[in-house]
Amino acid sequence: MNVNKHLEGSRKLVDGALGKYLSSKEKAYRTIYKAMRYSVLAGGKRIRPILVIESTKACGGSIKDAMPTACAVEMIHAYSLIHDDLPSMDNDDFRRGRPTCHKVFGEANAILAGDALIPLALNILSKEMAPKRAVAAIGELSDAIGTKGMVGGQVLDLEYKNKKKGLATLIFINRLKTSRLFEASAKLGAIAAGAGQKKIDAMGRFGLYFGTSYQIIDDILDKDDYAKAFGVEKARRDSEALMKKAINSLDIFGKNADTLREIAAYFLKRKS
């Protein structure tokens, strides 16, 4: 399989679905939807929604089963980026090669655009999944982005901004801030397919190890955090060990998870 071509095809499918969810013809909502679309449709690898799609397929589901959940996850990811870029947080002027949301629409509208993406994501899950699956998906996603996930990780990251982080602290922050959403993405795919708990848990382990390795590789490429604190060689060894654990977590799925295995190997070798 040509992994790069496969990822590009999946990204286009996700972008098309996101565009439909983020359209509104009502004039009263024009500004907020413009800000939401500006940030969500700004590009990116779409790796989290792709994990949703591929984990759904590995559990016997279809792309149609996966797409609402995949889009909800990407909206949550976009909200986190909008808020991360704000002056009170990372104070970034550019994201993916163009001005950040608050630079284009103002700080207040950027905050509101991020805020609006959260209920929209949950609303999609509530309306487009079978009731029992929707309840499980909303519970998983809300847990992943709250105090035990992204928000908690961001708070800790701010607290340690000017402090030296030990290995355990850095791993814990990255676990909450980054890996938890990867874990949720893989589990949500299994939930969307109607998988049993063993397969949901196995996908969770895959997502967690994948996400942790992904973040370390990011740090290697950016010469930041993990690589800066512990050296590139250790960072590379650790990222490889974690990705191996991710791949081993897929044993329960047999050949159905071959695409996920190839994607994991592909991202381990990425250069950007």
pLDDT digits (tens, 9 = 90+) for 63-94: 999 999 999 999 999 999 999 999 999 999 99
The residue-averaged pLDDT of 249-266 equals 97
Q: What percent of the chain has pLDDT over 90?
A: 88
Lookup result for tokens 């950040």: 100
Residue 232, pLDDT score = 94
C-beta of residue 61 within 8 angstroms of C-beta of residue 191: no
Number of domains the chain is built from: 1
The residue-averaged pLDDT of 126-142 equals 97
C-beta of residue 83 within 8 angstroms of C-beta of residue 153: no
C-beta of residue 38 within 8 angstroms of C-beta of residue 104: yes
DSSP state of 147: T
Q: Over 90: is that where the pLDDT of 162 sits?
A: no
Q: Note the Cα 201 to chain centre separation in Å.
A: 18
Residue 200, pLDDT score = 98
**In angstroms, rounded to a whole number, what is the distance separating the alpha carbons of residues 23 and 119?**
15
Out of 13-17, 41-45, 244-248, least confident range: 41-45
Residue 26, pLDDT score = 81
Q: Over 90: is that where the pLDDT of 224 sits?
A: no
The residue-averaged pLDDT of 159-187 equals 92
DSSP state of 179: I
In this structure, what token pair is assigned to residue 103? 């630079």
Residue 31, pLDDT score = 93
The C-alpha angle 215, 220, 225, rounded to 5 degrees, equals 70
CATH, residue 223: 1.10.600.10
Residue 260, pLDDT score = 98
Residue 164, pLDDT score = 83
Sign of CA dihedral 230, 233, 237, 242: positive
Q: How confident is the model at residue 271 (pLDDT cuts 50, 70, 90)?
A: confident
pLDDT for 16-55, tens place per residue? 999 999 988 788 889 999 999 999 999 899 999 999 999 9
Going by C-alpha positions, the residue among 239, 92, 111, 260 that lies closest to residue 185 is: 260
pLDDT for 87-103, tens place per residue? 999 999 999 999 999 99
**In angstroms, rounded to a whole number, what is the distance separating the alpha carbons of residues 17 and 246?**
28
The residue segments making up the domain with residue 186 are: 3-268
Calculate the average pLDDT of the chain.
95
Residue 194, pLDDT score = 98
Q: How confident is the model at residue 187 (pLDDT cuts 50, 70, 90)?
A: very high
Q: Over 80: is that where the pLDDT of 244 sits?
A: yes
Q: What is the pTM of this model?
A: 0.95
Going by C-alpha positions, the residue among 169, 148, 170, 161 that lies closest to residue 219 is: 170
DSSP state of 1: -
Residue 104, pLDDT score = 97
Going by C-alpha positions, the residue among 12, 72, 64, 49 that lies closest to residue 193 is: 64
